[in-house]
Every structure is written in C-alpha cells, then in structure tokens.
Structure 1
C-alpha cells in the first residue's frame, strides 16, 4: 500500500512563546492513499462552493474566524473521518518550552555539579520542577531569559539567568527555592559555549522542532500499528525549518537500532524506518496539506478556547473534531500533548471527551 502523510502546523509565533493570541502550537498529519486524495479534493471543492468560501486554498486559521469558515471546517473534518484515513496530531504548550529550557540548562551535570546525570533524562524529577517554575514565574522574566538565550550576548544571558533564579530562590515553596539555589551554581560561561556550538550546527531549542520530532516518532509507531510498511511524508513548504526538519528526519530514519524506555512509560525507538522520505511542497497543490492545516487549526483553537473558558461557538465543530481524534486508526498514540503534566491531562481529556 502506497500512502502519503501530509503535514502542516498551526500556531507558529516565532520566539514569542507567550503570544496571548496563539499560546498553543499544533502539528497534524493526514494520511492519504492516492484515490482518497482525489475523492477529498472533489469533496473540498464542493464544500468551498456550498459555504461560499472564496479563498484560493483553505487555511484553517482564517476559516476559524468566520461562521461560514467554521461550517466548512466542521464539514471538512467530517469528510476526513468518513474517508477512514489515519490522522496524527501533536499539541504543544509553548510556554512549557521556556521553563523546560531553564531546567535543561541549569540542572545539566556538565555545567552544574549540584545535579547528577538523572536530571538529563528522568521526567519523574524534571517535570514537577518545570511545572513549578512555569506556575510561579513572572512570564516577562521567563520570556526575557528565553529571548536573550536566542541572542548573541552570553553575558546578558548569564545576568538574566542570575536575576531569574534569584527570584525563584525567594519562593515560598521551600523545595523550589532550594532547587533554585542549586541551579544558581551553573557555570554559565561553559553553558554559553555549548549553546553557541549547538547553534552553529543548526541545533537549538524550538517548539516547532520538538513538536515535529514527536510527530515523527509517533507516526512511525502508528505505521507499525497499522502494518503500513512505508509512509511518504510531505510537509507544507517551510523555509524557516526545512533544512532543520530534513536533518532531523535523516538522523531519526538512519539511526542505529535502539529503544529507550522512560520511567513515565514513554518509549522511544530508533530508527523511524517506516517513514521513507520527507519532501516539502506548496499547500495549494495538495489537498492533504490543506486538510492537515484544518485539523491542526481546529485542534489549536479548540484547546485555546477551552483554556480561556470561551463560550461554545455557534458552529459546533468540536464533535466532528473529537470523532476524528478518537479514531482507532490513531492507535492510542495520538493525539499527543507536550506540556506540563497537568496541562497534558486536561487537554487530552478535553479533546477526547473522557
């Protein structure tokens, strides 16, 4: 069976992880055989005409802003469900990355002898600390650390970290305060040298990269579950991340066989050998990319409205989205959430209505 998984994202906001309008990043893949792509292209053309949507190609974020667009989104989601085709979806709490990077940087035993190697891989000790930092931190202070870390002034990064960790050391949470005092022992000069080295190789922290990497590994597991031997990946043309994503796909697909089992039950297997190729294409030429964009946007908006307590929309797209996400073809792997434990549990319970 020849199958293509079309990929797109919704919610990219660059370095601004606290974008109040788009705090969530989602990646979606819609898997289609050739005949399904033809059928859905015809269906989508009819939906655009029925709902009087004049866009040259459908864009999920724009459609979600109008009643007519929301109706088209609902009907498009129902069409994908009716096609009985696999989908994959990753949702990421973007601010989580900023707090996670603080923990990565300041608990790494290479730069801080107050911590051991376990802090580099064990989510059972890392995740509670990340969640506490995210919960108590001043968003502006945390964002300042994140933004300066992406710059070129190592001294400014060290100063920002010093101020931020000092603030955490004054926390009324004694455990957090104690951890912050340990984190203050980080050798920031050594850390900054490593950051620059990683950046020179095109490798640095990015919500998009984290979500895309999770999507790749999950899709490889999904392909194994569905007994699909080969999946071709086609991602929406993306100049900013194309080279990086290609490098990540190459590394994961050609890695030596290995299996990593984490204390929280997560399993990471290499190589991702069922994902046979990765290409980038303009969304206007592929209905699959447009549908992936719709799935990603509908999921993102649904999560953001749930978190903000926004009243239900007049167009009930959520039942159609939930039906799609609950498909057995997701193999229990997707939807996948990246964020604090409390956020992940809340989001997954909401999306799956459990």
Structure 2
C-alpha cells in the first residue's frame, strides 16, 4: 500500500524523493549555523543562603560559526595587550586586576562587534528563596484554601515573594530545610506555615495568613515531600538552565538558526541533562503555550545538540565564564547599593539595550534591583548617545 502523499509508482516516487531531498538540502543550506557557549558563576549548590555568593548567573554567548575565527584572533590580541597570556581565561583571575572592568569592556565590545549576543539568567538568591517559599506553601495542589487557577497567578505570586523578602527568619528556616534535602518532620513544616501566616497577618493581609492555617496531616505530608528533591533540582542550575533554554528558543524560533550548545562540564546533573536532551525534538501538536507576555516551549527543534566540554580546551566557553562572572559582580553591586564604575556602566547600558531589542536575558530578582539596574543602565545610554 502506498504511503499517503507519495506515488505508488516506484519511478515517480524516486523523483519525488529526490525533489524532497533537494528541498531539504536547500533549507539546510539557508540556515544560519551558530553555537551557544555556556557557563555559570556564583554556584553554591543547594545552599541559597550563602552570604558570600548572593547572586547566581547562568549564560553565555550565541556566536554565528563563521565569526568564530575572527573572535579568536582578536581575543588573543586583547590577551596579549592586557598581559593575560597563558592558562585558562577565568573571571576569578581577571577580577583581581585593578582594571578588570576595562579589560572586560574590551572583550564585551569585541563580541558585540562580531554580532555575538549575550544570553543569561540572573538569580538573586534571597528573592529565589522567597519565590520558592511561595511556590511551596501557596501551591493549590497542597493547599485547599487556594483555587486551582492560582497555579498560574504569576504576578500575585511575585508580589507575595516581595512581601516575604524582609522575613529573614522565615527565609533562613526555609533555606535550611531546602539545603538539607530530606523530608522534614510534619511538625516542622507546620511550624513554618504558622510563621508565614503570622508574617502576613502582621502585614495586614489576613486572607493570605488564613491560607497557611488548618493544613490537614495529608496536606502537610504532600507539602513536605517537596523538600526531598534531587540535588540538581535543589540547585540554582536546576532552575536557571530550563529558563535559559526558553530564552534561546524564543529568540531562535522566528529566525533560521540551527544552534549547537556547548556547556562547561556539569557533574552530578544527569537528570537535568536528560531533561534538556528530551527537549531536542521536532515540535508536536501542542508545542507551546502563552505564559505572561511570552511563550513557554515544550520542544527545541532549533537546537541540534547539547554537549558538555572542558572549558580549558574551548576559549569561547571561557568568554562565557567572563560574561557570567562580570554580570554577577555588577548585579551584586546593584543589590548592595554600590556605585558602578564608568566601564561597568558602559557595559550595563549595552546589556539594557539588548534586553529591550532581543529579550536575550532575564532575572529572578526583586523589583528594587530591576529599578536600580534600569536607572543606571538607561541613564548611561542617554549620556552616551544623547537621547
């Protein structure tokens, strides 16, 4: 029996197949081949309350393959100019220089000149703790006081996280339970729910407080199981990598890009890597859904591969390390209210510009940090370009 859409005549079918092969070859030839070089900075595993590393950044550079040679040549020249010859290029090494931001500004502008785009995800760990507390205790699956539709109430949840941010005792207890990685006793979870109720009660939102009272034993058992997740899913990487993949897919879908991802080595993340690999498939009938102002994708047909590499042997992954380290340094300063120097401001203005133009980065951070960054980044843009 002939396959639907193909001729039953073998000769005619051969002609059809040859035409299809030519069409696919032409389509493949028209694709832009690119690589995303990826790393992270500020990783503290499941310890989200590490005061020495309050910000985590995961990201890198999307580079058209034809630009790679020119980037490497100019990168080598800059290394010679700034005395960075020999060994692996790491932000931890560059950051010790007095002119670290000037060095990085040259490297950053080099990448932009060659059409490379920075993609990254920023996480303020205090805000991440507050958001994770809300996701856990305000989940309709465990909390009968909440309508099932509250699962998608992202703006309301964000507001609750903002209100929890000053609750240091609550966040410290949640952080400890999260770091331990074991299912805590029912009484301990119930006590934390009561602390949350009292906090919102003091803040004058009685209805929110009431959602955290009168849990049944069954609900508490379901809720406390959330704390027994795998190590990778309790890490910042377990949350940032899926978000980063969504940013990439959202950028590539309207464009003829075939992307390979090269990520610095990840150890003990087998389940997360398996999750990513499952995304690399052709789109299905239900391939995306609207989420806020954007879309959430269930597949990544534009990605041709996801591979782990040793950064020592891949210079552009080293540039991803520099990007993440620099961005982490800047957002830590923003978080702490510290002044940025002229080179940092210049890069921030470019970062602000590409965010609006390409939506190539995003962040989980409180509104105050967004406003502080935007104020500095856009003010520098106006100063530089007079608009």
Match status 1:302 vs 2:330 = yes
Name the structure 2 match of 1:151.
Answer: 180
SS of residue paired to 2:202: coil
Larger-Rg structure = 2
Q: 1:137-188: per-residue Cα shift (whole Å, max 9, x none)?
A: 11x541332232343553447415514632641542111x542332234422
Q: 1:3-58: per-residue Cα shift (whole Å, max 9, x none)?
A: 11101111112233233332111122212233422222222222222112355111
Name the TM-score, length of structure 1 as normaliser.
Answer: 0.86
Q: Which runs of 5 or more residues in structure 1 are unaligned?
A: none
Task: Check whether the contact 1:162–1:184 (CA below 8 A) recurs between aligned residues.
Answer: no
Name the structure 2 match of 1:106.
Answer: 137
Question: Alignment partner for residue 318 of structure 1, among 338, 341, 345?
Answer: 345
SS of residue paired to 2:123: strand
Name the structure 2 match of 1:284.
Answer: 312
Task: Check whether the contact 1:31–1:85 (CA below 8 A) recurs between aligned residues.
Answer: yes
Q: 1:232-260: per-residue Cα shift (whole Å, max 9, x none)?
A: 0000112143x233223123334743332
Q: 1:289-329: per-residue Cα shift (whole Å, max 9, x none)?
A: 1111111111111111122232334x72431353255248x
Task: Check whether the contact 1:3–1:232 (CA below 8 A) recurs between aligned residues.
Answer: yes
Match status 1:259 vs 2:285 = no
Structure with higher RCO (Cα < 8 A, 6+ apart):
1
Distance 2:76 2:140 in 1: 56
The change in CA–CA distance for 1:50 and 1:157 in structure 2 (over 3 A counts) is farther
Distance 2:321 2:214 in 1: 44
Task: Check whether the contact 1:8–1:289 (CA below 8 A) recurs between aligned residues.
Answer: yes
The change in CA–CA distance for 1:247 and 1:69 in structure 2 (over 3 A counts) is same
Match status 1:81 vs 2:81 = no
Segment of structure 1 superposing worse, 102-111 or 335-344: 335-344
Distance 1:252 1:276 in 2: 11
Distance 2:304 2:378 in 1: 30
Segment of structure 1 superposing worse, 63-72 or 102-111: 63-72
User: What aligned pairs does 1:125-136 form with structure 2 within 5 A after superposition?
Assistant: 125-135=156-166
Name the structure 1 match of 2:39.
Answer: 8
Q: Which runs of 5 or more residues in structure 2 are unaligned?
A: 1-31, 382-387
Name the structure 2 match of 1:235.
Answer: 263
Aligned residues: 343
Name the structure 2 match of 1:212.
Answer: 241
Name the structure 2 match of 1:34.
Answer: 65
Q: 1:81-121: per-residue Cα shift (whole Å, max 9, x none)?
A: 11122221221112222222222221222222111212222
Question: Alignment partner for residue 362 of structure 2, among 319, 336, 340?
Answer: 336
Question: Alignment partner for residue 302 of structure 2, among 261, 264, 274?
Answer: 274
